Amino acid sequence: MSDDIWTVGRLLTWTTDWLTTKGSESPRLDAEVLLAHVRGCQRIMLYTAFDTPVAEAERARFRGLVKRRGEGEPVAYLVGSREFFSLPFAVTSAVLVPRPETEGLVVRTIDLCKPLAAPRILDVGTGSGAIAVTLAKHLPAARLAATDISPAALAVARDNAARHGVADQIEFVECDLLADPRAAGPWDVIVSNPPYVRDDEFESLPRDVRLHEPKAALVAGPTGVEIVARLAAAAAERLAPGGWLIVEIGPHVAAAAEAALAAVPGLVPGPTLPDMAGLPRIVQARKA
């Protein structure tokens, strides 16, 4: 950048062009989110300030963030937050960045719990807590537990629960899947966005995901459904009669995930649900 006057509009144009050369899939959005973060304003406010000069201190902070984004670091980690189901969630490199596809799990769980006076819900592998916290906000009579094997992830999830005023509804449990007695249930719904990437797929993931998001929360093993199979077997023992297991999967492992659920005695598979792109995204089964 030169010593000329750098306005909001000029910064956004320059940064969008530069991030495009670095392979960003959404360079303009990235530039706007980062600049709004530095200026402490909503992104929409940038559009009323295109001709406003940006002070050198703000430009320096912005340059630092843009450089890191150009190196592949996710925007959500750079600004420390990501929106999910119209709620802001704090995120760190200890947790996956919440994605729109996962909102389908929330919609399906809310639909299943609407007829219940006080639904009991378990979120397995909670990460940032986005699923559990959102469900608690939309189902105020529900009681929830949320498990994760990572203490760092649980710290993020607890902070998000407190931020949204639902900490008293959710018990956070450090364990592998449902291994802790506090996850014993019985549960009306067990919901999970588990690892489902195959070992041989990891190197083909987008750079920002592969280099920065926690690998243990992404990769399941050689088939991609190792965690799904373990989860289904455990869920069959901990669901209430008629209770549901709802699991997000990648379209590439949908058939294998469906087979894993069908192989568990006591679980009756339900239809696989598509995401907004029409791809198979949620496998489900009901306890007989």
Q: Provide the pLDDT for residue 40.
A: 95
At 4, the pLDDT band (50, 70, 90 cuts) reads: confident
Name the pTM for this structure. Answer: 0.92
Contacts of 179 (CB under 8 A, 6+ apart): none
Closest CA to 259 of 223, 216, 220: 223
- 3 confidence band (pLDDT: 50, 70, 90): low
Enumerate residues 6+ apart whose C-beta is below 8 A from 202: 210, 215, 218, 219
> What single letter denotes the amino acid at residue 16?
T
For 118-164, how does the pLDDT look when each residue is reduced to its tens digit (9 = 90+)?
Answer: 999 999 999 999 999 999 999 999 999 999 999 999 999 999 999 99
User: In the structure, what pLDDT confidence band is assigned to residue 273 with cuts at 50, 70 and 90?
Assistant: very high
> Any residues with CB less than 8 A from the CB of 131 and at least 6 apart, and which?
102, 105, 106, 109, 123, 146, 191, 193
The answer to which of 4-8, 77-81, 284-288 has the lowest mean pLDDT is: 4-8
Q: What span, in angstroms and rounded, lies between the C-alpha atoms of 9 and 111? A: 44
Res 1 pLDDT > 50: no
In the predicted model, what is the mean pLDDT of the chain? 96
